[in-house]
Amino acid sequence: MESQIPTGTAPGSLAGLRVVELGTSVAGPTTGQILGDLGAEVIKVERVGAGDDTRGWAPPYWGSEPMAFLGLNRNKKSLALDFKDGRGVQVLERLVAGADVLVQNLRPGALAKVGFDLERLRELNPRLVYCEMSGFGPVGPRASEPAYDPLLQAYSGIVSLLDTGEGPPMRVPLSILDKGTGMWAVIGILDALRRRDQSGKGSHVEVSLLQTAVSWVDQKVMGSRAGNPAPRNLGSGHPGVVPYGAFPVEDGHVFISAGNQTLWTRLVEALGARELMERPGFGSNPERAERRAEVNEAVSAATRAFATDELLERLAAAGVPSAPVRPVHEVADDPQVRAVGLVTPLPHPNVPELEVVHLPVTFDGAYLPHQCPPPELGQHSVALLQDLGFSGDEVELMMADGVVGSTATAVGTSA
């Protein structure tokens, strides 16, 4: 099945805005990529020689390119710059002076050490929206410490929710805090841009992995403050809904959610197990929650009689929410995923067959178009420096001295 949702031709509403991204790893680049998806010009400032950390996170590769970088850096221009050098500082000053947004997730204090504290940024550009991202937040005993997604999953209690008591604690194997923090940053930046429309002044937006993590476990935190016992690990289950979770079938598992009494009735009828309606302690959801293991075993005994497709057909006919538990490598070819057109080609010079996942939002029935594939390191350095007013001789000298890196073969060209 081909996509039934087209990709539009008109750029997003942020077209005409310039974003400078001093981002590395996941959180900062996520913010920059979303802003680029929305139409902004995003200039990604990277270290000369090495670039963003994710350029070295491999395997996996797509062709010769690390997947980690490809997945987080489309719709950006790359400027390879040593801004610890005085001339690099001048470049960054000019960039900031002409930018609408500055996003950074460097180690806490790193930007201030080279002269770009909040006061200096405001001197350079009073209209600048400055988004600062950190691990533990701007204040407190751990504010100066760097952090990564799995560390904050552990610190915030997320890992404890996955603890089965067998083997070492496990994290959610996705960058849920990095990407979540990147999304919160975009929300904050969009609000700050709207405030600027009203006041003419920029804002300082701050987000952190810790604050994102605590917001993800907000109901668990509220429960602890209310005096409720620490939540038990329920596997794929839900503390307040039974049955809910992955149940065995002949050829795998099916996820089932019977979120109310009507769905419970429909479920047992679809399973041919109406006798469960009459079993003592199975009558209401609170009763079933008290007998969770017994209910789950009874439902499992019924689901084991079916293959995946047969059970899904029965549950769909009965109106019971369900889904197959499938490996992620099958998802891109799923008929529903193909119908909504999320996976789309974005040819790259080194990866002609590259496909990416759209920003998962449509506007008037269409996805936003992509501006460009993920850049090579320093691909746009020369053109950007010339746009900032540096002469050809100045650019050549900075390149020769290692202040600037570029894939351009000569000043006046860009790869």
Question: Do the Cβ atoms of 66 and 25 come closer than 8 Å?
Answer: no
Q: Tell me how many degrees the CA angle 208-210-212 measures, rounded to the nearest 5.
A: 70
Q: How many CB atoms lie within 10 A of CB 351?
A: 18
Burial letters 192-206, b for 16+ CB under 10 A, else e: bbeebeeeeebbebb
pTM for the predicted model, two decimal places? 0.93
162 in helix, strand or coil? coil
Burial letters 88-102, b for 16+ CB under 10 A, else e: bbbbbbbbbebbbbb
Please tell me the distance from the alpha carbon of residue 111 to that of residue 124, in angstroms, as a whole number. Answer: 14
pLDDT at residue 239, as a whole number: 86
pLDDT at residue 232, as a whole number: 74
Among residues 238, 329, 358, 380, the one annotated as catalytic is: 238
Residues counted in the chain: 415
Residue type present at position 233: N
Give the E-state strand segments of 262-366 in sequence order. Answer: 322-324, 343-345, 355-357
Give the E-state strand segments of 266-342 in sequence order. Answer: 322-324
CATH topology of domain 18-217+352-409: Rossmann fold (3.40.50)
Please tell me the distance from the alpha carbon of residue 291 to that of residue 375, in angstroms, as a whole number. Answer: 55
Please tell me the distance from the alpha carbon of residue 295 to that of residue 415, in angstroms, as a whole number. Answer: 63
Whether 204 is catalytic: no
Please tell me the distance from the alpha carbon of residue 333 to that of residue 167, in angstroms, as a whole number. Answer: 34
Partners of residue 322 on adjacent β-strands: 256
Residue in the block written with tokens 């209209």? 127
Please tell me the distance from the alpha carbon of residue 215 to that of residue 55, in angstroms, as a whole number. Answer: 30
User: How does strand 322-324 pair with strand 252-257?
Assistant: antiparallel
Separation of CA 320 from chain center = 30
What is the CATH architecture assignment of 244-325?
2-Layer Sandwich (3.30)
Please tell me the distance from the alpha carbon of residue 364 to that of residue 367, in angstroms, as a whole number. Answer: 9
pLDDT at residue 52, as a whole number: 97
Radius of gyration of the chain (CA): 26
Task: Copy the structure tokens of residue 35.
Answer: 């802003």
Please tell me the distance from the alpha carbon of residue 314 to that of residue 291, in angstroms, as a whole number. Answer: 25
Domain boundaries, the chain: 18-217+352-409, 244-325
Please tell me the distance from the alpha carbon of residue 199 to that of residue 155, in angstroms, as a whole number. Answer: 39
Q: How many CB atoms lie within 10 A of CB 378?
A: 24
pLDDT at residue 174, as a whole number: 96
If phi over 0 gives left and psi between -120 and 50 gives alpha, with beta otherwise, what is residue 242?
Answer: beta
129 burial type by CB count under 10 A (0-12 exposed, 13-18 middle, 19+ buried)? buried
pLDDT at residue 55, as a whole number: 96
Task: Copy the structure tokens of residue 316.
Answer: 């769909």
> pLDDT in tens for each of the 415 residues of the chain?
788 999 999 999 999 999 999 999 999 999 999 999 999 999 999 999 999 999 999 999 999 999 999 999 999 999 999 988 999 999 999 999 999 999 999 999 999 999 999 999 999 999 999 999 999 999 999 999 999 999 999 999 999 988 877 888 899 999 999 999 999 999 999 999 999 999 999 999 999 999 999 999 999 899 888 888 877 778 888 888 999 999 999 999 999 999 999 999 999 999 999 999 999 999 999 999 999 999 999 999 999 999 999 999 999 999 999 999 999 999 999 999 999 999 999 999 999 999 999 999 999 999 999 999 999 999 999 999 999 999 999 999 999 999 999 986 445 544 4
Separation of CA 6 from chain center = 23
pLDDT at residue 314, as a whole number: 98
Task: Copy the structure tokens of residue 2.
Answer: 């081909």
